[in-house]
């Protein structure tokens, strides 16, 4: 067994206590109000504060019990708390396990593995013999236990830790969760994501749900609203819904969806389906992100009450069709990160979700510029 230094050892787990929200700090160079303003240091605190924010790098996260498997016929490897905790108030590790050798055989007790605390950017230990239980000896996940069942192991196989619960980081404390292992997104460390920030990684079948009434109420009927997100898509187009308001008792009605590519390749889209089933779709008339998988900012905003619907991509305002909406009664009962959020979630997100902020107002151009800079900087 070989030991290699890991730069994440200093990101210790905080076993208990409330999540402390990160406030944006620093200075925005006020050359213009758009996101192309030059940025030095950290960003200035925006005037507006979100009513809901999920900043993955600052969030309290609880890891799931079944690690997400990849490769050829991988056994089901699980993660348990052991002498530690699977809830990380900050500094969540990107746990990744890979089989690194079957020279001694493919059975448990013969195959060896390596383990990373930063999603495979570096490896803390390698050449470790598979056993029924492996207690992680150090680093941020010290005390957690990786459980290897009997089975056939191979060097194509790997496993990553998933997220069963994440708490909001600003506004009130809201809980997004999913108890179904296959529906839990992977936690990916900043060392391996396209934007060099911690992220939830969704691969077209994962979503976390909140039924907190105050959070859901932000999307009822047609309120003044701004939704700002930092995302990166893993395919060029048609990447699904990163935020959806819906109703677990409704298959099609009572929806508000924020997505990319569901009605036009590369086009940011907002879709409303009111309680009566009337559908209103707002889409960018151009394709600002066609062919692009880089991290970017998207802002949906409007004054409500059948007013204008606007979408900015990386600080640039897109032309919308139609430009306004008459919504009627819309009463969702849950919010979903990564899908539509109705009886059977669909239009799943494909990509990385870094940050999401919701405001119960239409932000001014100055606030949008400041938040655009903060989302890009991760502050």
* In a domain? residue 236: yes
Domain's final residue, options 160, 190, 219? 160
Summarised one tens digit per residue, pLDDT across range 145-184 is 999 999 999 999 999 999 999 999 999 999 999 999 999 9
* In a domain? residue 229: yes
Summarised one tens digit per residue, pLDDT across range 287-319 is 766 556 789 999 999 999 889 989 998 999 988
- Report the range of poorest mean pLDDT among 109-123, 203-217, 267-281, 325-339: 267-281
Domain's final residue, options 139, 160, 181? 160
Contact call for residues 264 and 283 (beta carbons, < 8 A): yes
Q: E strand or H helix at 364, and its extent?
A: none
Give the domain CATH number at 308.
2.60.120.200
* In a domain? residue 138: yes
Closest among 311, 325, 298, 321 to 221, alpha carbons compared: 325
Domain's final residue, options 117, 139, 160? 160
For the segment 204-214, the average pLDDT, to the nearest whole number, is: 96
User: Which residues, in sequence order, are CB contacts of 333 under 8 Å at separation 6+?
Assistant: 211, 216, 246, 247, 248, 249, 254
Sign of the torsion formed by the C-alpha atoms of 182, 209, 242 and 62: negative
pLDDT of residue 31: 31
Pairing of strands 350-359, 225-233: antiparallel
Query: Do 102 and 206 belong together in one domain?
Result: no
- Is the confidence at residue 235, as pLDDT, over 90? no
Query: Do 152 and 236 belong together in one domain?
Result: no
- Report the range of poorest mean pLDDT among 15-24, 125-134, 213-222: 15-24
Work out how many domains the chain is built from and give that number: 2
* In a domain? residue 5: no
For the segment 201-217, the average pLDDT, to the nearest whole number, is: 95
* In a domain? residue 49: no
* In a domain? residue 60: no
Query: Do 142 and 201 belong together in one domain?
Result: no
- Is the confidence at residue 39, as pLDDT, over 90? no
Distance CA 74, CA 68 (A): 10
* In a domain? residue 20: no
For the segment 260-273, the average pLDDT, to the nearest whole number, is: 72
Q: E strand or H helix at 198, and its extent?
A: none
Residue 101's domain comprises 65-160
pLDDT of residue 379: 87
* In a domain? residue 10: no
pLDDT of residue 261: 63
């Amino acid at each position: 067994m070989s030991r290699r230094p890991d730069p994440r050892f200093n990101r210790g787990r905080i076993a208990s206590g409330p999540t402390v929200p990160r406030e944006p700090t620093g200075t925005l160079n006020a050359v213009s109000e758009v996101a192309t303003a030059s940025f030095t240091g950290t960003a200035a605190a925006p005037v507006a504060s979100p009513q809901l924010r999920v900043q993955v790098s600052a969030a309290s996260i609880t890891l799931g019990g079944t690690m997400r498997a990849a490769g050829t016929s991988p056994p089901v490897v699980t993660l348990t708390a052991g002498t530690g905790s699977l809830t990380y108030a900050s500094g969540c590790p990107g746990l990744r396990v890979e089989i690194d050798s079957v020279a001694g055989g493919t059975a448990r007790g013969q195959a060896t593995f390596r383990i990373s605390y930063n999603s495979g950017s570096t490896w803390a230990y390698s050449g470790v013999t598979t056993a029924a239980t492996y207690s992680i000896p150090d680093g941020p996940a010290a005390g957690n236990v990786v459980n290897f069942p009997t089975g056939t192991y191979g060097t194509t196989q790997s496993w990553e830790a998933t997220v069963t619960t994440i708490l909001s980081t600003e506004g009130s404390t809201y809980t997004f969760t999913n108890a179904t292992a296959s529906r839990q997104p992977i936690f990916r460390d900043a060392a391996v994501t396209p934007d060099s920030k911690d992220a939830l990684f969704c691969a077209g079948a994962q979503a976390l749900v909140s039924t907190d009434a105050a959070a859901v109420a932000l999307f009822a009927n047609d309120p003044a609203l701004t939704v700002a997100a930092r995302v990166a898509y893993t395919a060029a187009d048609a990447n699904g819904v990163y935020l959806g308001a819906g109703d677990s008792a409704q298959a099609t009605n009572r929806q508000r969806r924020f997505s990319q590519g569901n009605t036009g390749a590369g086009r940011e889209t907002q879709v409303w389906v009111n309680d009566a089933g009337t559908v209103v779709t707002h889409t960018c008339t151009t394709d600002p992100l066609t062919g692009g998988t880089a991290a970017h900012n998207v802002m949906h905003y409007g004054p409500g009450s059948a007013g204008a619907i606007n979408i900015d991509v990386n600080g640039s305002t897109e032309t919308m069709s139609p430009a306004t909406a008459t919504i009627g009664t819309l009463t969702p009962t849950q919010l979903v990160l990564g899908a539509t959020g109705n009886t059977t979630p669909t239009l799943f997100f494909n990509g990385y979700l870094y940050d999401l902020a919701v405001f119960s107002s239409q932000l001014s151009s100055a606030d949008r510029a400041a938040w655009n800079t903060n989302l890009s900087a991760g502050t």
